[in-house]
């Protein structure tokens, strides 16, 4: 029998845990003993990290025996394995060294007579061998190697497990697994996935979470020690113990709903589930699983369930939620939230250690609304806060100051609260405020920090003006960057930049969740502005992490525009070399002008601004040569017929 060699792009039979069978797949990336697999004929969000022992060489007779073992978690990595990662990256990049590595378990072998599905493909069938050959060729080129050492993309299928237990086909929750799959599909369509280094996620540890959250909050969103088939543990907060009869509290949802706790029964205030919901919140056997998950859809009684005390609001779909409309699945949401935070930490580590230049964390649930002791606004753990504080703690000589820029349309109340007195973290948020009428009703321009953190909190709070002719869009957001964010960032001089990259300011979102009209080009320009800033101030150390964005098509194209901008300049034609002719208008609307002037009026006590920005007559115009040569009003009418997107095969 001939021994096969691992090579990127090669076809294998790979075990697909959720379907319990082997399927034809392609090797996309490798990290020591783990392999990133794209299953042929399946959408890109089905790609997964699996163990070497879970792949076999394709057999012509389709007889492949199922491995007689339990599929362990990818998180069960030894310390020595982690230490070898950097060396393994160098070996993979060198095809000569790589071909010398032998994997005996990939040898030809006869099946045991049981048809376990070798040679099966996904719904779209077999993919073009020529396309994958092209990927393999690119992978081992100098350009391919440089691309993978420039931009990282972290993803983990466990984050798709978080969903509402209702599984309703009639009611679509805004924060849903489709958000990740739509972005990955867009990256695939634009052939961006071949230009990034794929990283696998992990769960954040309790120690890491405790840097930003209280022990009680972590406990509330951690599965109890007993198994799910035993009696459910009642989780009670310290506040509930001290105040047996809590005062009425108004809860506001990100979608606009309002609930007052005095109208809620006592059984829901202290953390118990309504009796009618107990059975409906058990694990569903149709949920997504992966070899890296800690749960099994086929053995629901082994799943540890979590019932946080804030799970008290009955949502429109009929299930219980947190803070009015934040969905929670007792068997999956806690794991997904920890993986979101841990995945961002993994990406940041790779950037700080010099393995990558920048990266995008494709994570959910989002985090910037999560406070140190409360979940809300679709967020459970504050991913950016956890990662930033972990970075300051782990790399005290390299990373002493961190800048967090938040361009989600909603103010990051959780991030602001956690860093409100922190002298070494500067938080700048540009968000829709509407004089405090827009969710989460925080983020006023005069909220500047307290104690040692005074001046380290900058709120660019946008409010409409009755005389403005259009909603906030590209000129308004870019003007905020150009006139306020960039000058302040230069004075702060951070060692690393984080971006809470929400895309709910994108055109196409409903009024209650967005209402602005930022385009993919606008997000691309903001990404470039931050990239140039990072290159100037901190050797390019930059990480973007997904926050909001709920209209799938605008979310996907906007996120893809930002990722494309992160790539090496020669890697993709989507990069804008400069800012010339990029905006349809260089004049922000009146509401933006008033909002920027108010922000500068307050922040001039903490930061220096050019004299012309302090003038009452300042209109915050952008450079004239940034104006597009062909304005949108003079362009030909857009063909409204559906555009057929050609099927893209391979990475």
φ, ψ of residue 523 to 5 degrees: the values are: -65, -35
Q: Parallel, antiparallel, or unpaired for β 48-51 and 11-16?
A: unpaired
Catalytic residues: 369
Which of helix, strand or coil describes residue 37?
strand
φ, ψ of residue 141 to 5 degrees: the values are: -80, 165
The CB density around residue 110, as the number of other CB atoms within 10 Å, is 10
- First and final CA of the chain: distance in angstroms? 31
The CB density around residue 250, as the number of other CB atoms within 10 Å, is 10
The CB density around residue 3, as the number of other CB atoms within 10 Å, is 12
Instruction: Determine the Cα–Cα distance for residues 59 and 604; give it in Å rounded to an integer.
Output: 70
φ, ψ of residue 143 to 5 degrees: the values are: -65, -40
Instruction: Determine the Cα–Cα distance for residues 401 and 392; give it in Å rounded to an integer.
Output: 8
Helix axis angle, 520-538 to 552-566, nearest 10°: 30
The H or E element spanning position 338 is helix 333-352
Instruction: Determine the Cα–Cα distance for residues 398 and 496; give it in Å rounded to an integer.
Output: 9
To which residue do tokens 């009869």 refer?
245
CA atoms within 13 A of residue 450's CA, in its CB half-sphere: 4
Instruction: Determine the Cα–Cα distance for residues 624 and 628; give it in Å rounded to an integer.
Output: 9
Instruction: Determine the Cα–Cα distance for residues 521 and 486; give it in Å rounded to an integer.
Output: 19
């Amino acid at each position: 029998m001939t021994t096969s060699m691992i090579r990127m792009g090669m076809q294998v039979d790979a075990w697909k845990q959720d379907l319990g069978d082997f399927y034809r797949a392609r090797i996309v990336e490798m990290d020591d003993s783990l392999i990133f697999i794209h299953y042929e004929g399946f959408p890109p969000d089905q790609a997964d990290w699996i163990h070497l022992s879970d792949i076999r060489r394709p057999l012509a007779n389709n007889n492949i025996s199922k491995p007689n073992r339990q599929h362990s978690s990818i998180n069960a990595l030894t310390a020595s394995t982690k230490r070898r990662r950097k060396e393994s990256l160098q070996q993979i990049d060198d095809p000569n060294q790589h071909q010398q590595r032998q994997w005996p378990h990939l040898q030809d072998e006869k099946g045991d007579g049981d048809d376990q599905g070798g040679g099966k493909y996904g719904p779209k069938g077999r993919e073009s061998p020529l396309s994958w050959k092209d990927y393999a060729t690119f992978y081992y080129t100098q350009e391919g190697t440089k691309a993978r050492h420039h931009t990282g993309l972290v993803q983990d299928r466990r984050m798709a497990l978080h969903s509402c237990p209702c599984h309703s086909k009639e009611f679509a929750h805004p924060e849903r697994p489709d958000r990740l799959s739509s972005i990955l599909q867009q990256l695939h369509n634009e052939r961006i996935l071949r230009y990034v280094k794929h990283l696998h996620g992990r769960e954040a540890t309790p120690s890491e979470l405790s840097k930003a959250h209280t022990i009680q909050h972590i406990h509330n969103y951690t599965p109890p020690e007993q198994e799910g088939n035993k009696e459910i543990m009642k989780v009670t907060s310290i506040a509930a113990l001290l105040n047996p009869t809590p005062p009425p509290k108004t809860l506001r949802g990100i979608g606009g709903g309002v609930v007052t706790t005095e109208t809620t029964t006592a059984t829901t205030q202290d953390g118990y589930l309504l009796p009618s919901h107990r059975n409906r919140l058990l694990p569903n056997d149709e949920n997504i699983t992966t070899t890296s998950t800690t749960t099994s859809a086929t053995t629901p009684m082994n799943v540890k369930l979590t019932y946080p005390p804030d799970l008290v609001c009955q949502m429109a779909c009929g299930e219980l939620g947190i803070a009015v409309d934040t969905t929670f699945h007792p068997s999956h949401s806690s794991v997904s939230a920890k993986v979101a935070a841990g995945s961002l930490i993994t990406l940041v580590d790779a950037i700080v250690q010099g393995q990558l230049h920048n990266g995008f964390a494709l994570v959910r649930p989002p985090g910037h609304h999560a406070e140190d002791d409360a979940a809300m606004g679709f967020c459970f753990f504050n991913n950016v806060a956890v990662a930033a504080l972990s970075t300051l703690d782990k790399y005290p000589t390299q990373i002493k100051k961190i800048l967090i820029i938040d361009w989600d349309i909603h103010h990051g109340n959780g991030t602001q609260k956690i860093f409100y007195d922190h002298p070494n973290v500067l938080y700048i948020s540009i968000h829709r405020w509407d004089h405090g009428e827009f969710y989460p009703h925080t983020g006023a321009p005069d909220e500047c920090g307290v104690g040692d953190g005074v001046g380290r909190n900058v709120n660019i709070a946008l409010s409409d003006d009755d005389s403005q002719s259009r909603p906030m869009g590209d000129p308004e957001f870019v003007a905020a960057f150009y006139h306020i964010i960039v000058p302040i960032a230069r004075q702060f001089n951070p060692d690393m930049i984080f971006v809470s990259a929400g895309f709910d300011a994108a055109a196409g979102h409903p009024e209650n969740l967005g209402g602005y009209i930022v385009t993919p080009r606008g997000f691309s320009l903001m990404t470039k502005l931050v990239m140039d800033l990072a290159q100037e101030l901190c050797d390019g150390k930059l990480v973007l992490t997904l926050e909001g964005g709920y209209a799938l098509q605008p979310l996907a194209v906007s996120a893809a525009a930002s990722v494309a901008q992160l790539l090496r300049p020669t890697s993709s034609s989507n990069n804008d070399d400069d800012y010339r002719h990029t905006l349809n208008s260089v004049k922000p609307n009146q509401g933006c002008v008033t909002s920027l002037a108010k922000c500068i009026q307050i922040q001039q006590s903490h930061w220096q601004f050019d004299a012309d920005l302090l003038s009452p007559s300042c209109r915050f115009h952008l450079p004239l040569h940034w104006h597009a040569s062909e304005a949108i009003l003079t362009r030909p009418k857009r063909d409204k017929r559906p555009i057929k997107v050609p099927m893209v095969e391979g990475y």
